[in-house]
């Protein structure tokens, strides 16, 4: 039982460390970058930051969905295995 508690504690500390040490993940695909650059070329300085920020936010949302799905399936699998072990014991 101590070993399992250590693993859970280690996993929790690792997750917290990765969350707080991570950097901002703002990047753009080629199409999004071309859109922002075309706005810069026309001289629209105020809307440039709005368009760029909107595109970056959209990219982050699109990136988040697969991680949420994989995390949910992994959590369900973990709970299922844990329940099976509890019934077997």
Chain-centroid distance, C-alpha 41: 32
Cα–Cα distance for residue pair 65/28, rounded to 1 Å:
17
Could you tell me if 59 and 32 are in contact, meaning their C-beta atoms sit under 8 angstroms apart?
yes
The pTM score is 0.45
Write out the two tokens for 28: 């753009």
- Higher pLDDT, residue 21 or 85: 85
Write out the two tokens for 74: 């992994």
Q: Please tell me the predicted confidence (pLDDT) of residue 73.
A: 95
Q: Render pLDDT for 53-80 as a digit per residue (tens, 0 to 9).
A: 777 777 788 888 899 999 999 999 999 9
Q: Render pLDDT for 1-55 as a digit per residue (tens, 0 to 9).
A: 577 788 888 888 888 887 777 666 555 567 766 776 676 566 555 555 676 677 7
Q: Please tell me the predicted confidence (pLDDT) of residue 44.
A: 57
Could you tell me if 28 and 55 are in contact, meaning their C-beta atoms sit under 8 angstroms apart?
yes
Could you tell me if 26 and 56 are in contact, meaning their C-beta atoms sit under 8 angstroms apart?
yes
Chain-centroid distance, C-alpha 54: 17
């Amino acid at each position: 039982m101590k070993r399992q508690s250590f693993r859970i504690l280690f996993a929790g500390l690792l997750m917290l460390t990765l969350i707080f040490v991570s950097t901002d993940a703002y990047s753009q695909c080629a199409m999004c970058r071309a859109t922002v650059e075309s706005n810069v070329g026309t001289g629209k300085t105020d809307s440039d930051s709005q368009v760029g920020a909107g595109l970056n936010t959209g990219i982050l949302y699109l990136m988040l969905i697969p991680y949420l799905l994989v995390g949910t399936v992994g959590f369900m699998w973990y709970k299922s295995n844990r329940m099976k072990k509890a019934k077997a014991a």
